[in-house]
């Protein structure tokens, strides 16, 4: 069993799995149960102090895809609607009971120095191991000048982070919104404001869909709806990209990251960590299957590390140096699809996909025995991967490297006159 304990911006936890600030961390009861089940940390559902929080009754909507429930998920639920003193007391009690688990308190108050100072002190007094500034929520609270309304303006992000750091005695993470043109700007602003780390991504602006019987948008509140925050497995690629952007940006490269966005299993966690995250935060998968998923999250990462003889620290950021600009990629790296005829079941999906959706590089024929026979036309294959992606049989279509005598050559090399391109298929 690999050692999974980790430190994120100075916040220690027995494993890198934290519950994200969301409905699963609404109460001390839930957080205690989660720690009991094995979660390393929990980011308490966002506290505030000021205007009361009142929620709609209908709050969540799901994107189902091809029979899979909750591929994507959105919500219009606001931050905690429980009294501040109740939350603080529960934080204190849970922390006392689970001293080794990380409790990070998510915060969102009106944009005044006093309000921020006050809630930061109260949270620290309750025993918070860290603070997470919620500059991310795209719905509801943003209309009141909080959440993503702050995160979308780098100056606000820096300013409030500075205010917080004036009184903070524990590490401060800034939670970033993906609803910006370039996530590196708010990340830099957080760093400039003194943030100890960043958490990302928060949810994405979304309309999850309509009820086709009534044409009402979902989640439907008395026939109306509002844009909500989108998350779940479907957002992971967007989150991975944003995490990698911060990890590869020279200005923020060493800023600790708590990765968030569609983490549903241990493999997702490995990806976030390899792209630079120190910890990962999970919400939708827990809302779908409960706290018990932590067992396989830890077990899977542990087995992965053990099989490679690798430590969690060695995994962290291991893939960052492989993320490059397109113009730096090697244009002379040639691959072709290879169909293993012994494994082929004759579904013809590769043929249809290549014929209609790619480069007409697969030949198909109905054989005498009634089976559909497919074969790759090597002269036409551009190695795009599509056939191997649609093939339903494990290992039936593989992308095989075709060695050539040409040196590596990128677009940069081509345009600077420093490289020679290998010949490639010509399409009339």
Smaller CB distance to other proteins: residue 83 or 357?
357
Minimum Å distance from CB 349 to other proteins?
6
Examine residue 393 and tell whether it contacts other proteins (CB under 8 A): yes
Question: If you search the block for the tokens 């909507």, which residue do you land on?
Answer: 61
Cβ neighbours for 392, distance < 8 A, ≥ 6 positions apart = 345, 347, 349
Smaller CB distance to other proteins: residue 56 or 352?
352
Cα distance between residue 65 and residue 372, in whole Å: 28
Examine residue 370 and tell whether it contacts other proteins (CB under 8 A): yes
- Of 175, 200, 197, 187, nearest in space to 263 by CA: 200
Minimum Å distance from CB 374 to other proteins?
9
CA distances from 344 to 141, 340, 385 (A): 54, 6, 17
Q: By CB neighbour count within 10 A (0-12 exposed, 13-18 middle, 19+ buried), where does 308 fall?
A: exposed
Cα distance between residue 207 and residue 227, in whole Å: 5
Q: Where are the beta strands (DSSP E) in 292-361?
A: 335-339
DSSP 269: H
Smaller CB distance to other proteins: residue 60 or 373?
373
List 205, 241, 360, 364, residue binding other proteins (CB under 8 A):
364
List 127, 352, 359, 360, residue binding other proteins (CB under 8 A):
352
**Measured between alpha carbons, how far apart are the two ends of the chain, in Å?**
57
Q: Which stretch binds other proteins (CB under 8 A): 62-70, 113-121, 125-133, 258-266?
A: 62-70
Examine residue 421 and tell whether it contacts other proteins (CB under 8 A): no
- Of 174, 177, 179, nearest in space to 164 by CA: 174
Cα distance between residue 346 and residue 245, in whole Å: 42
Smaller CB distance to other proteins: residue 22 or 349?
349
Smaller CB distance to other proteins: residue 10 or 346?
346
Q: Count residues binding other proteins (CB under 8 A).
A: 17
Cα distance between residue 23 and residue 21, in whole Å: 7
Whether the CB-CB separation of 106 and 44 falls below 8 Å is answered with yes
Minimum Å distance from CB 347 to other proteins?
4
Whether the CB-CB separation of 88 and 119 falls below 8 Å is answered with no
Examine residue 371 and tell whether it contacts other proteins (CB under 8 A): yes
Examine residue 66 and tell whether it contacts other proteins (CB under 8 A): yes
Catalytic residue positions, numbered = 137
Cβ neighbours for 95, distance < 8 A, ≥ 6 positions apart = 103, 126, 127, 128, 129
Cα distance between residue 34 and residue 20, in whole Å: 12
Whether the CB-CB separation of 59 and 219 falls below 8 Å is answered with yes
Examine residue 351 and tell whether it contacts other proteins (CB under 8 A): yes
Q: Which stretch binds other proteins (CB under 8 A): 10-18, 316-324, 325-333, 347-355?
A: 347-355
Smaller CB distance to other proteins: residue 172 or 396?
396
Examine residue 67 and tell whether it contacts other proteins (CB under 8 A): yes
Q: Which stretch binds other proteins (CB under 8 A): 22-30, 170-178, 368-376, 413-421?
A: 368-376
Question: If you search the block for the tokens 């720690």, which residue do you land on?
Answer: 35
Examine residue 349 and tell whether it contacts other proteins (CB under 8 A): yes
Q: Which stretch binds other proteins (CB under 8 A): 63-71, 84-92, 281-289, 406-414?
A: 63-71
Question: Parallel, antiparallel, or unpaired: how do β-strands 41-47 and 17-19 relate?
Answer: parallel
Q: Which stretch binds other proteins (CB under 8 A): 64-72, 77-85, 106-114, 293-301?
A: 64-72
Smaller CB distance to other proteins: residue 213 or 379?
213
Cα distance between residue 269 and residue 111, in whole Å: 34
* Residues in contact with other proteins, shown as a per-residue x/- string from 307 to 346 under the rule CB under 8 A: --------------------------------------xx
Contact residues: other proteins, CB under 8 A: 66-68, 345-349, 351-352, 364, 366, 370-372, 392-393
């Amino acid at each position: 069993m690999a050692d999974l304990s980790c430190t994120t911006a100075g916040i220690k936890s027995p494993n890198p799995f934290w519950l994200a600030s969301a409905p699963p961390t609404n109460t001390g009861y839930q957080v205690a149960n989660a720690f009991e089940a094995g979660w390393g940390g929990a980011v308490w559902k966002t506290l505030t102090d000021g205007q009361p929080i009142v929620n709609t009754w209908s709050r969540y909507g799901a994107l189902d895809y091809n029979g899979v429930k909750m591929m994507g998920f959105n919500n219009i639920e606001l931050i905690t609607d429980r009294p501040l003193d109740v939350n603080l007391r529960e934080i204190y009690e849970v922390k006392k009971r689970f001293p080794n688990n990380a409790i990070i308190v998510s915060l969102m108050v009106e944009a005044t120095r006093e309000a921020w100072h006050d809630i930061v002190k109260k949270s620290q007094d309750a025993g918070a191991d860290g603070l997470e500034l919620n500059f991310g929520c795209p719905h509801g609270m943003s209309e009141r000048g909080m959440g993503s309304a702050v995160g979308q303006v780098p100056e606000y992000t820096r300013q409030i982070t500075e205010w917080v750091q004036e009184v903070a005695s524990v590490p401060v993470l800034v939670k970033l919104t993906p609803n910006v043109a370039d996530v590196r700007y708010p990340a830099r602003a957080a760093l400039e404001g003194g943030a100890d780390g960043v958490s990302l991504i928060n949810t994405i602006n979304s309309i999850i869909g309509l009820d086709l019987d009534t044409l009402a948008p979902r989640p439907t509140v008395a026939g109306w709806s509002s844009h909500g925050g989108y998350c779940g497995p479907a957002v992971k690629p967007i989150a991975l990209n944003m995490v990698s952007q911060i990890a590869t940006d020279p200005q923020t490269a060493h800023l600790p990251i708590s990765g968030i966005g569609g983490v549903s299993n241990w493999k997702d966690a490995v990806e976030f960590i390899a792209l630079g995250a120190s910890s990962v935060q999970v919400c939708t998968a827990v809302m779908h299957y409960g706290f018990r998923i932590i067992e396989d999250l830890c077990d899977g990462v542990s087995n992965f590390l053990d099989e490679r003889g690798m430590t969690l620290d060695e995994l962290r950021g291991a893939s960052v140096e492989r993320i490059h600009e397109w113009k730096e990629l090697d244009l002379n790296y040639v691959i072709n699809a290879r169909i293993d005829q012994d494994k082929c079941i004759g579904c013809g999906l590769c043929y249809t996909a290549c014929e209609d959706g790619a480069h007409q590089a697969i030949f198909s024929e109905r054989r005498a025995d009634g089976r559909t026979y497919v074969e790759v036309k090597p002269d036409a294959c551009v190695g795009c991967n599509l056939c191997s992606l649609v093939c339903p049989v494990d290992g039936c279509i593989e992308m095989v490297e075709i060695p050539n005598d040409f040196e590596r050559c990128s677009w940069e090399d081509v345009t600077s006159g420093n490289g020679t391109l290998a010949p490639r298929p010509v399409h009339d």
